[in-house]
Chain A
Amino acid sequence: MIQPVIKGVSAILAHAPSFIRHGSKPSREIGADADLLPTILAHLRSYHEALSYAPHQVFVGRIRPNKLRTLPTPWLTHPVAPERFGPFGEILPEEELYGLLALADEFRLLALDSDFTEEVIKRLADHPMLHSMCLDPVREAGRRDFGESLNSASAMPLFVEGNRLIGAIRRGQEDDESLAAPFLLENLAGKATGALALLHLASRDGLSLDAVEYVLGCSEEAVGDRYQRGGGNLGKAMAEMAGCGNASGADIKNFCAAPIPALVVGGSLVAAGVFENVAVVGGGSLAKLGMKFRGHLKHQMPILEDVLAGIAVWVGRDDGRSPRIRLDSVGRHEVKAGSSNQAILEALVARPLAKIGKRITEVGIFATELHNPEITVPQGNGDVPLRNYRTMAALAALRGEIDASEIDAFVQKHGMPGFAPTQGHLASAICFLGHAREMLLAKEIETVQLVAKGSLFLGMMSRQSDGMSVLIEAQ
């Protein structure tokens, strides 16, 4: 077997406050109560505020997650240095996100205001990666009449700076619900942010885009027309957009858990010698923008779910230094295991470790669902990662590995604070992989277990939940 390793990781955020109104929850509630829109618009963050938000700087790699423990809270009112670029990627401003969407738009769905487009093109010309792309698709979007698009009831208006109308996205086909404008916008957003992450991966970690042979998409979007809604392929679309001319691709779907099975499948393709370089890529989830806006409004906070994310991972052959993917320690949540948290964690944490003779306490750090508590607590959803870590600790106690009095110490030692925005799949363990790779390379830790869970039952095809885990190990 060829040993697969993690040769690079990128992570980006795209600030998208004017897209919050198009998020699933806000758009439904604005539909029911139009008076809500001005309130939402009065609670948007500026780009500068998004840059200086500590959890965002953790996401792009400037700050280690554990450093959040020592920073003053709430992070919201304690800004850090507002840097756009970090070791893993960048925090893209909304104006440039529109440029990126136009670059992703092969079917001329978008029409943008011409003055705004000029502004966007000027900015893209300064972008370290996008400047070298052909910007004609953006220019063309600026030449299309968005007013005319908006005359059709099925088009959707697009805004910047909260409420400045600068464009529209039209429906793909009049009689196909699967190609309605809101779905196409979600899919374009997923494609564009994933492709940006792929471009950052190539610029940072020495990956040649020509060397990528396969791109595994692991986003949450349902791409496809009425005959195969959700059956589509963002992996290859992102490969094309990023310029991976020698690659093909496909998607791995599993709700929030998808990136981990994608990583395991990617690692297996490398291990079996099928491909030498695989990229695992997840783009952002537009539907989840503003998902918990009610809680934020209730606490007089700005709406914190205002960013789309993107992550790309380069899985390649052993280079003698990069962290190894331990394919002999993959945890899966079996059908018969049941849906109690104990059953899930035994399947995902304890059993795969036992297979290679390790105990829970022997793992350096666990990466679980790393949702930022400042986003979830105001909505009454509690601190998700803390609860996950406490559950792991309770399992370790149940198995006699630690004393019940050591649960808090376990959380301190093997856990970290949550820092990810509500971008389900990307918050689910994979957002730590960039940090994990650096820490494993520096030998600060020996092992990281990535543990992801997915809410299978949400799709109403099964009452099961699911999950997968994999151990990553320093050389």
Chain B
Amino acid sequence: MDLAHQEAILKVVQEKGKENVVVVLGSPDPESAELAAETVVNGDPTFAGPLAGVSLGLPVYHVLEPEVRGAVDPKVYRDAVGLMEAVLPAAEISAVVRRIRGSKTE
């Protein structure tokens, strides 16, 4: 994940407290979802950014996961995400993000 993004995330967590923060991803495939989710749960896997070695353990979801879809008004969801449900590998992406969400090293 972009180093500037990592820094911004760290700042939000410091200001708001990690128990109040949720992360939602829009990655197009399992590989990039994995990188992003891993970064906000167990730390930057590339060891390049400010979150290297920092296990924030944030609850992270992909926008295509059923939890997110269930929480959003169906019309809003359809307009914002609808078409991509048919295009992106939702099941694979969801499986990856769910696994990492449950893998908090803390």
Chain B residues within 8 Å of A390, by CB: 87
B9 to chain A, nearest CB (A): 17
Chain B residues within 8 Å of A391, by CB: 83-84, 87
B103: CB under 8 A from chain A? Answer: no
Bound Cα distance from A381 to B32, whole angstroms? 6
Provide the B34-46 mask, 1 if CB < 8 A to any CB of A, else 0. Answer: 1100000000001
Closest B-chain residue to A394, C-beta based? B86
CB atoms of A338 and B84 under 8 A apart: no
Chain A residues within 8 Å of B34, by CB: 380
B7: CB under 8 A from chain A? Answer: no
Closest B-chain residue to A342, C-beta based? B83
Q: Give the bracket for the number of chain B residues in contact with chain A.
A: 10 to 19
CB atoms of A380 and B31 under 8 A apart: yes
CB atoms of A342 and B28 under 8 A apart: no
> Which of A382, A397, A407 has most chain B Cβ within 10 Å?
A382
Provide the A384-402 mask, 1 if CB < 8 A to any CB of B, else 0. Answer: 0001001100110110000
Chain B residues within 8 Å of A380, by CB: 29, 31-32, 34-35
A345: CB under 8 A from chain B? Answer: yes
Chain B residues within 8 Å of A32, by CB: 48
Residues of A in contact, count (CB < 8 Å): 21
Bound Cα distance from A404 to B80, whole angstroms? 20
CB atoms of B32 and A340 under 8 A apart: no
Q: Which B6-48 residues have a C-beta within 8 angstroms of A?
A: 28-29, 31-32, 34-35, 46, 48
B31 to chain A, nearest CB (A): 3
A29: CB under 8 A from chain B? Answer: yes
B66: CB under 8 A from chain A? Answer: no
Chain B residues within 8 Å of A343, by CB: 79
Closest B-chain residue to A387, C-beta based? B28
B81: CB under 8 A from chain A? Answer: yes
Partner of A395 from B29, B79, B80, B83 at Cβ < 8 Å: B83
A411 to chain B, nearest CB (A): 11
Partner of B79 from A340, A404, A407 at Cβ < 8 Å: A340
A294: CB under 8 A from chain B? Answer: yes
Closest A-chain residue to B35, C-beta based? A380
B13 to chain A, nearest CB (A): 22
A341: CB under 8 A from chain B? Answer: yes
B51 to chain A, nearest CB (A): 15
Chain B residues within 8 Å of A294, by CB: 46
Chain A residues within 8 Å of B48, by CB: 29, 32
B53: CB under 8 A from chain A? Answer: no
CB atoms of A398 and B83 under 8 A apart: yes
B82: CB under 8 A from chain A? Answer: yes
CB atoms of A341 and B86 under 8 A apart: no
Provide the B68-99 mask, 1 if CB < 8 A to any CB of A, else 0. Answer: 00000000000111111011100000000000
A334 to chain B, nearest CB (A): 15
Bound Cα distance from A382 to B35, whole angstroms? 13
Bound Cα distance from A294 to B34, whole angstroms? 16
A138 to chain B, nearest CB (A): 39
B96 to chain A, nearest CB (A): 11
CB atoms of B29 and A394 under 8 A apart: no
A341 to chain B, nearest CB (A): 6
Partner of B83 from A29, A338, A341, A381 at Cβ < 8 Å: A341
CB atoms of B29 and A340 under 8 A apart: no
CB atoms of B83 and A345 under 8 A apart: yes
CB atoms of B79 and A382 under 8 A apart: no
Chain A residues within 8 Å of B46, by CB: 294
* Given known A29-B48, A380-B35, contact A342–B29 (CB-CB < 8 A): no
Chain A residues within 8 Å of B88, by CB: 387
Chain B residues within 8 Å of A407, by CB: 86
Bound Cα distance from A277 to B12, whole angstroms? 54
CB atoms of B82 and A342 under 8 A apart: yes
A451 to chain B, nearest CB (A): 15
Bound Cα distance from A380 to B93, whole angstroms? 13
Bound Cα distance from A58 to B18, whole angstroms? 50
Bound Cα distance from A343 to B28, whole angstroms? 17
Bound Cα distance from A309 to B87, whole angstroms? 31
Partner of A342 from B31, B35, B79 at Cβ < 8 Å: B79
Chain A residues within 8 Å of B86, by CB: 394, 397-398, 404, 407
B58 to chain A, nearest CB (A): 20
Chain B residues within 8 Å of A395, by CB: 83
> Which of A342, A395, A404 has most chain B Cβ within 10 Å?
A342
B16 to chain A, nearest CB (A): 21
Provide the A215-242 mask, 1 if CB < 8 A to any CB of B, else 0. Answer: 0000000000000000000000000000
Chain A residues within 8 Å of B35, by CB: 380
Interface pairs (5), CB distance under 8 Å: A338-B79, A341-B83, A345-B83, A380-B29, A387-B88
Q: 3 closest A-B pairs (Cβ-Cβ)?
A: A380-B31, A342-B83, A382-B29
